[in-house]
Chains A and B, each alone.
Chain A
């Protein structure tokens, strides 16, 4: 037998001025099942809550209705009051008589009062059908998987590991470091990228809580938040890392030369190689696509020169499994191929290069020993034209969004050029200068003043060759004139695009991605590091173009989220999720199809009691279900119910009006 207590709040004058509260309280007393109907000025205040607690105990109430403001406001407050008085907190219903009645029907007290009584009647009816619910606790495997060993992955891994949580960091290339390792100096402070990055890389390798698996990729992720099972493929490196000392003899003797991707193809590397001198781990791998021993079975020089005998041509890919509780995705970015800019002669003129190629050249450890050189004749350029927004903000040829970092790195390139070649001059064609950030505007000013770089607002329409020079024809929109600049070298600030393997990876992880291929965050403003799948987080350019400070900030935010998730041995979860009545379940699996979180799986149960024959039924994964109710509404046999919003609860509300 239900014993409901109804507590109507005046909310000061907010409710009482527009609703006849005493009348509502009297009307409420007549509702079947209502044992107590009381009123108070501020129900949410401590005396108000005390009133509820006392009434629960004195009248042995089975459920409570608070008629006050929106449940989105104080539901939690009143639940706590219930639980303090020993009643299950989910036996509470809130009748929203402020936002839904007193505030919106201020001119019609009679109607507002009537409506308030109705809303209370509905809440009482619903509360009678309420069930006792208990917070769900899900066990947590305290290990994080970080996908990607760029600065985002490194930072996230270090922060998580510093909280003494084991981390598995996997990286697709032979070394961690990512794009940042390719950079020379970084804006806005011009500190050397290697100087600030390599110590972190070494920390990763030596950290007791980090397991670094380079040259590997995720091939499968099963499970749910707190309980993921990842399958990782370790690509065959053909070098036994445990015995290799990284002496480099093999690399020196290898006769096969291959275009060096780390240096953007400006120079050559060997078929057995370490990507760059500061690589972590500093062990070489064999590029199976080019090694003549692996391709044709001839050569094997590296094996001969290796004193440790670490070369193993028979090595194969290995699949390992790790149980993890959370995943940080930090796959990074690629650069847009400027080929569609045919009018610039991209591909025809050797002296048109991309920003990252320029970056490698000016890098002290780069292929040209820190000097920008013209690819055509190897001469030092004097006049260098930088063109921004190549592909960015270009719906016709490229992508619609702003790549965010090009304004800043182009200013940096102007400064670096000035540092390396003192008598040079930089011309910069731009659409807008977007320098929002700490010290950013000052940095652009510095480029303009210190290096006397010529900033030309306007687009370049054409580049053509005259002798060994490139003539850049563009518009100076501020003067309204066509300008022509005689250039030795042209540098294109190409757009940032998502890592090309993002979509297949996203599908494999079960998270969504946008039309460009960036992974989608759960909420663009309020949940920027979470994905819609609980326990999977995003860091760096895998989510959107970002500079290093933003990337590091997001990576640390991921670490904070992971540490929060792992703060207890179990996770607490709202119990308002779907439940399956296996007796009626037909096993049609339509719910599996519509669930947006893959929270429904199937299981086999005996056909009847003690029967050997099995039948398939749906099973809700409590850790994953978010309680949307999609499955409930499509279940024809009514085998699924959503705790807190069950069919009887809603029907009670409908029929009680």
Chain B
């Protein structure tokens, strides 16, 4: 059972810590880790096509989604991020043949484990975005940003709070 997402008097309540609230115009910080060959190229295409998306995401380039060690995600959530988006090539399209298949397994287990210890499941999201899917990248970012805005600021397990 997931906690209800509540907004009281225009303020946004943190799902993991209901006592923590943020003003209604609060903007989350999202870290995006993108693979160089598909998703990073796709995000470039979003730019060249001038498709607009929310400005909350900060993009980190890695060669392949299989380069993403689960602790990058934990570290991001521990530091400034309110959410993490990881994106790679579609299954079968990996520039490095099989990287995203290994990554997919790790992602599922990591996502479930983070949810288990008390992160809302929408804090960490994954997507497959190809180099041709500029519009999809914008949609994914918009959705992830929207989702994370609803969850409120991440306070739980933050470094500065403990």
Given a CB threshold of 8 Å, the question of whether A touches B is answered with: yes
> What B residues does A645 contact at CB under 8 A?
62-63, 67
Within 8 A of A (CB), among B48-70: 48, 50-53, 55, 58-64, 66-69
Which of B4-12, B14-22, B73-81, B150-158 lies at the interface with chain A?
A: B73-81
A71, B61: Cβ atoms closer than 8 Å: yes
B46, A630: Cβ atoms closer than 8 Å: no
**A99, A115, A118: most-surrounded residue (chain B CB, <10 A):** A99
> What A residues does B66 contact at CB under 8 A?
594, 628-630, 633
> What A residues does B121 contact at CB under 8 A?
none
A630, B40: Cβ atoms closer than 8 Å: no
A99, B46: Cβ atoms closer than 8 Å: yes
Within 8 A of A (CB), among B19-61: 27, 29, 31, 36, 40-41, 43-44, 46-48, 50-53, 55, 58-61
A630, B99: Cβ atoms closer than 8 Å: yes
Which of A410-418, A421-429, A646-654 lies at the interface with chain B?
A: A646-654
A104, B79: Cβ atoms closer than 8 Å: no
Residue of B nearest to A97 (CB): B47
A69 to chain B, nearest CB (A): 9
CA distance A596 to B51 in the complex (A): 35
B55, A114: Cβ atoms closer than 8 Å: yes
Does more than half of chain A's interface fall in helix, strand or loop, or is it mixed? helix
Residue of B nearest to A106 (CB): B52
A657, B50: Cβ atoms closer than 8 Å: no
State the 8 A-B residue pairs at the shortest beta-carbon distance, nearest first: A99-B47, A629-B67, A628-B96, A111-B55, A103-B47, A630-B66, A596-B97, A633-B69
CA distance A654 to B30 in the complex (A): 10
CA distance A73 to B41 in the complex (A): 10
B44, A99: Cβ atoms closer than 8 Å: yes
A628, B58: Cβ atoms closer than 8 Å: no
B161 to chain A, nearest CB (A): 16
A70 at the interface (CB under 8 A from B): yes
Residue of B nearest to A628 (CB): B96
> What A residues does B43 contact at CB under 8 A?
99-100
CA distance A650 to B51 in the complex (A): 27
Residue of A nearest to B49 (CB): A103
A143 at the interface (CB under 8 A from B): no
B97, A532: Cβ atoms closer than 8 Å: yes
| Cβ contacts A618-650/B at 8 Å (1 or 0 each) | 000000001111101110000000100101001
| Cβ contacts A109-145/B at 8 Å (1 or 0 each) | 0011011001100100000000000000000000000
> What B residues does A96 contact at CB under 8 A?
44, 59
B76, A634: Cβ atoms closer than 8 Å: no
A576 at the interface (CB under 8 A from B): yes
Q: Which of B29, B50, B63, B81 is A628 in contact with, Cβ under 8 Å?
A: B63
B63, A642: Cβ atoms closer than 8 Å: yes
A320 at the interface (CB under 8 A from B): no
A647 to chain B, nearest CB (A): 8
A101 at the interface (CB under 8 A from B): yes
A602 at the interface (CB under 8 A from B): no
CA distance A70 to B134 in the complex (A): 14
B47, A70: Cβ atoms closer than 8 Å: yes
B58, A122: Cβ atoms closer than 8 Å: yes
Known: A106-B52, A119-B58, A122-B60. A654 touches B79 (CB 8 A): yes
CA distance A104 to B60 in the complex (A): 16
CA distance A628 to B44 in the complex (A): 20
A105 at the interface (CB under 8 A from B): yes
Given contacts A101-B55, A594-B98, 7 further A-B contacts (CB under 8 A): A72-B44, A96-B44, A99-B48, A594-B102, A629-B62, A634-B102, A657-B29
CA distance A73 to B61 in the complex (A): 14
Residue of B nearest to A103 (CB): B47
Residue of B nearest to A635 (CB): B69
CA distance A119 to B103 in the complex (A): 25
A596, B79: Cβ atoms closer than 8 Å: no
CA distance A597 to B36 in the complex (A): 18
B13 at the interface (CB under 8 A from A): no
> What B residues does A98 contact at CB under 8 A?
47
A278 at the interface (CB under 8 A from B): no
**B29, B66, B81: most-surrounded residue (chain A CB, <10 A):** B66
> What B residues does A576 contact at CB under 8 A?
63
B148 at the interface (CB under 8 A from A): no
A512 at the interface (CB under 8 A from B): yes
B46, A632: Cβ atoms closer than 8 Å: no
Residue of B nearest to A512 (CB): B97
Q: Which of A72, A627, A654 is B72 in contact with, Cβ under 8 Å?
A: A654
A278 to chain B, nearest CB (A): 43
| Cβ contacts A532-568/B at 8 Å (1 or 0 each) | 1000000000000000000000000000000000000
A655 at the interface (CB under 8 A from B): yes
CA distance A115 to B30 in the complex (A): 11
CA distance A653 to B81 in the complex (A): 12
Task: Give 25 CB contacts A-B under 8 Å.
Answer: A70-B47, A73-B44, A98-B47, A100-B44, A104-B50, A104-B52, A104-B53, A105-B53, A111-B27, A115-B58, A119-B59, A512-B97, A532-B97, A594-B98, A594-B102, A597-B97, A626-B96, A630-B98, A633-B67, A633-B69, A633-B102, A645-B67, A651-B72, A654-B31, A655-B80
A76 to chain B, nearest CB (A): 14
A630, B138: Cβ atoms closer than 8 Å: no
B106 at the interface (CB under 8 A from A): yes
A103, B50: Cβ atoms closer than 8 Å: yes
